[in-house]
Amino acid sequence: MKMKTNAENRKAVVKAVSEILGIPSKYLGVPSCNFQVGDCIIDRAGTVETEDEKTAGIVLAGLIERGYADAPETEENKVMIGFPAEGMTALNLKNLIFLMHSRQYLINQSIGEKNFSIPDGLVEELEENGDVTIEGLEDSLKAFADETRGIAVSSEKITFRFPYTEDAVKVKAWTDLASAMVRQVKEQKRIDPEERIEENEKYYMRIWLLRIGFGGRDMKESRNMLMENLKGHSAFRTQADIDRAKVRTKQRAEAKKLAAQEAQERAETAQAEETVAGLSLSETGSGEEKAEPSEAA
């Protein structure tokens, strides 16, 4: 059994395993550069491997307690969203792994924690295998099971594991997202597995969501929830685009203000001219009335 650790320093893992088992560590030297503690081997990445299940259980519990390993995913600490894999081909399932790998950064940022993890090694193996079969895909998934988090894929079922919550809006948004991803890999023949880490997270998440069916008013709540934790601007790709938009908005506001001022000036001028004309007519009328009695006399 392999146990992936999250310690930044491998020596900390070696020391922890030594303390847990009460056995001193031994450096095995080149070419492996591994450490050995009893039945356990700790490699360069800090992964602990042992073939003894009892030892593995003891070591894993100790590593979790010390914060060097994550607790196993269970139905109690996850929101489980499942879909039957019936009718899905090996290519569909492989593309789902590729899609998850390419979007896992954005999805994890959206969730607010590193919930999904598709190892690079799994993607590389699936790419090398070319036209993979269901059996070959399952073998690859098993080989990287200890490094894969957040999703389980088999010929019978696909299960997404999201963080536990009682928030109905989050659960609906995650269900909508999982459903859309399954639908995408059924319809799309090729998925680029390269992981995308974008500075403007909101913009790229919005573009992707709209492409996989999150448009329309009925998906607005889920769309907004999935973008809530992301940084950036959903309507503009770069800061330069935002700056240009601000300039255009300012120019439009100034033009509108100027037009309003000119309209007010024209109205005031027209009113003044009307007043002057009225006074002129009044003065003319008064002069004619005074002249008439003189003629009669």
Q: Which of 103, 87, 86, 83 is nearest to 191 (CA)?
A: 103
The percent helix, strand, coil of the chain (3-state, each to 5) is 55, 10, 35
| Mean pLDDT lowest among 14-28, 79-93, 165-179, 249-263 | 249-263
State percent of the chain over pLDDT 90.
58
- Does the N-terminal peptide bond of residue 163 adopt cis geometry, omega within 30 degrees of 0? no
SS3 208: helix
Tell if the pTM clears 0.75, that is, is over it.
Answer: no
**In one letter, which amino acid is 108?**
N
Looking at residue 228, the DSSP 8-state letter turns out to be T
In order of 231, 232, 270, the CA distances from 236 in angstroms are 12, 8, 45
Residue with tokens 């002069």: 287
pLDDT of residue 256: 82
pLDDT, tens digit, 9 for 90 and up, residues 215-230: 889 899 999 999 999 9
Q: How many Å apart are CA 137 and CA 130, to the nearest integer?
A: 11
Average pLDDT over residues 13-30: 95
Q: What is the mean pLDDT of residues 36-45?
A: 94
CA gap 154, 139 in Å, rounded: 10
Question: By percentage, how much of the chain surpasses pLDDT 70?
Answer: 87
pLDDT, residue 288, reads: 52
Mean pLDDT for 86-93 is 93
